[in-house]
Amino acid sequence: MNAANRGVVYKGPGEVAVESIAYPELALGNRKCEHGVILKVVTTNICGSDQHMVRGRTTAQPGLVLGHEITGLVIETGRDVEFVKPGDLVSVPFNIACGRCRNCKEGRTGICLNVNPSRPGAAYGYVDMGGWVGGQTEYVMVPYADFNLLKFPDADQAMEKIKDLTMLSDIFPTGFHGCVTAGVGPGSTVYIAGAGPVGLAAAVSAQLLGAACVIVGDMIEERLAQARSFGCETIDLTQDGDMADKIEVILGEREVDAFVDCVGFEAHACGCNHGKEAPATVLNSAMSLTRAGGQIGIPGLYVTEDPGAEDEAAQQGALSMRFGLGWAKSHSFHTGQCPVMQYHRPLMQAILFGKVNIADAVNVQMISLDQAPQGYADFDGGAAKKFVIDPHGSVT
């Protein structure tokens, strides 16, 4: 077997590079990982969460191999793997979960208790998430394979829709989870904060759940145009004016039923102050714009430490929220990592049976592994695209 491997490595703020890295082994520290598999990576996506690290907005250390959105071909299995076989094409949830702890047994795989010694929950190639090697690589090891992996029923059919199916590892379930936890259903009016890939995935998810009107707000016109391309209403947040007035122009009402925050802690102020960071602005807007008794889904990332924040409180993840307003309006808030396994199988079915075209909605652009640094740079510049890396030329 070829023992060569390459991957996208975080070098420091603003810099990534494609480097030779170790070929994965079925091992966890000094012991064999008989429940794991080795994948030949077919597709692996650049995520906004990766971008937070690359901007230097987390405590990530140089040398981290990036990438938590992985789809791959099984090429080797451990002794204890029973139901996944070499040759299977699989989607890898970005959450790493043991399947054995209390939280996993309750379906809360985003906060597994056994895969990260520092806190509940783990992910591939991410700061403070257990030290697992990322998947923006040619080959990667996946533990607890029988529990974690979603096998596509027909590999040839899956390759025909691989640009859609690669979204099952993270952003499609994450956007869908944001909508579910915001209470989106038939006839709902929904505001999606942010038209990046997760925001666009949330907008598609809201439509799939039967929303009557989906409004997407962002500061980049190209991303707003992408949202309009599949039937969303949009609001340009660089323009001055009261947000409730803008909602009323669209809905005839000043509040929405459901609000989904797909921005997170690097939020900026709206209107004439749109160049200034305001990390709590989306959360405060959510409380202002959501009807009394409504729900707020928060799949956007908030961190416990942000060394790049402009004030000392925000550096510790402490944000100035008008929480009393949310309390007075009986809002419910749902935070945290999406438990991908709750959603990836039904969303796979929606893709395979042609009920949703997520790749078109998020504007997938395929790139090679060597083009990954440029993909990061373009994404950081606000490109209205979802960059999908094809390490072996399997797709393109």
Condensed to tens digits (0 to 9), the pLDDT of residues 111-142 reads 999 999 999 999 999 999 999 999 999 999 99
Three-state secondary-structure class, residue 126:
coil
Give the Cα separation of 258 and 192 in Å (integer).
9
Domains, in order of start, for the chain: 6-170+341-389 (3.90.180.10), 171-334 (3.40.50.720)
How far is the first Cα of the chain from the last one, in angstroms, to the nearest whole number? 24
Give the Cα separation of 44 and 390 in Å (integer).
7
Q: What is the mean pLDDT of residues 356-370?
A: 98
**Model pTM?**
0.96
Q: What is the mean pLDDT of residues 311-323?
A: 90
| 26: number of Cβ within 10 Å | 20
Q: What is the mean pLDDT of residues 143-169?
A: 98
Give the Cα separation of 262 and 242 in Å (integer).
20
Q: Which helix (H) or strand (E) holds 75?
A: strand 70-77
What local confidence, expressed as pLDDT, does residue 152 receive? 98
Say how many CA atoms lie within 13 Å of 372 toward its Cβ: 31
269 pLDDT band, cuts 50/70/90, is confident
Phi-psi region of 79 (alpha: psi -120 to 50; beta: other; left: phi over 0): alpha
Handedness of CA 2, 74, 360, 211 (dihedral sign): negative
What local confidence, expressed as pLDDT, does residue 277 receive? 84
Q: What is the mean pLDDT of residues 147-152?
A: 98
Higher pLDDT, 2 or 17: 17
Does residue 272 surpass a pLDDT of 60?
no
Instruction: Give pLDDT tens digits for 333-350.
Output: 999 999 999 999 999 999
What local confidence, expressed as pLDDT, does residue 273 receive? 63
Higher pLDDT, 176 or 272: 176
46-55, 258-267, 300-309: least confident range: 300-309
